[in-house]
Structure 1
Amino acid sequence: MGIAENAALIVVDVQEGFEEEAYWGARNNPEADRNIAGLIDAWQSSGRPVVFVRHDSPKPDSPLRVGQPGNGFKGYVEERRGKGDGPGLLVAKYVNSAFYGTPDLKGWLDRCGIRQLVVVGIQTNMCVETTARMGGNLGYEVFVPLDATYTFDLAGPWGWTLGADELARATAVSLHGGGFAKVVTSAELIAAAG
């Protein structure tokens, strides 16, 4: 796997509000935070660009709404922001895709000549998947290290429910099998970017 010198790491919604289990329910992949931190470190030490995306929820009961402690980045992300020699960006959004945030992510990527994206963060089947799908649709080469994402159990129509692991697998199959992104591991990306 070839990782470009200017491949951008897109860190999606790694916010304190996702720690509120009473609101979200059970999560999967307890190693995700360690893997996200490792990728940020690898990207920053190599001078590659890192984009931090924050979800500013408009929902009045959401732990991610502006003005609430849960809107802030998790501590390990906040302490890494602004570090490294590569370019960086903070995108605020209120929908699933980081491409519908402020400032304009696509415009910034294109001005920087970036054609490769690595998308990590929370939730696997929501904002990570939507951002990866849009990135693929827009012509970027997208990688999703599944072990650097996590999600929560979810209820759908007709009483159907899926566990977090099932949702993560469905996302991996849809993204990889559908040609939107290459689903890989954090270790593979860190080795390729080294």
Structure 2
Amino acid sequence: MGQKVNPHGLRVGVIKPWDTQWYADKKEFSVYLKEDHSIRTFIKKKYYAAAISKILIERAAGKIVVTVYTGRPGVLIGKAGSEIEVIKKDLVKLTKGKQVIINVTEVRKVDADAQLVAESVAAQLEKRVSFRRAMKQAIGRTMRSGVKGVKMQVSGRLDGREIAGCEHYHEGSIPLQTLRADIDYGFAEAHTTFGMIG
């Protein structure tokens, strides 16, 4: 059987750029990598309501430039940029005093962003909406936003079943083998009373 590979990871360096851009020596590499992971985890957890699609990190001359792509920039920026300053202070503390620059970029088509669609379906599942209804509505919205195809899958104790299962729906074309095809991928978890649904 063919094995599943992350469509984004497969296309990095072909048609998709790296989410992190810096160069490091052997000694510093693991430190930078851990730092990047903790920055991403911190922002994602604290500002989950801001509908964050992706976080790009660049390092140059002792500076860390963090670019956050979000569906709701107002939540991240705050009144007159007050929230940005709070994030900056927290990240300076997290990176042990390094200079941090934060850029916020708005995601124009929220329904065409795989990560944001996945998170919206997960949020609906947590509100006890039927998984079929949530998936079909999300697919409908995504197709209307102008994408060529969508594939969606949910796994776990769907609608509180005793035995965990996996259901998927798709519409349009999704050429996974074509490397030049711009395929977006998103994953989110819903923590329900029956357990976790991914």
TM over 0.5: no
Larger radius of gyration: 2
TM-score (norm 1): 0.25
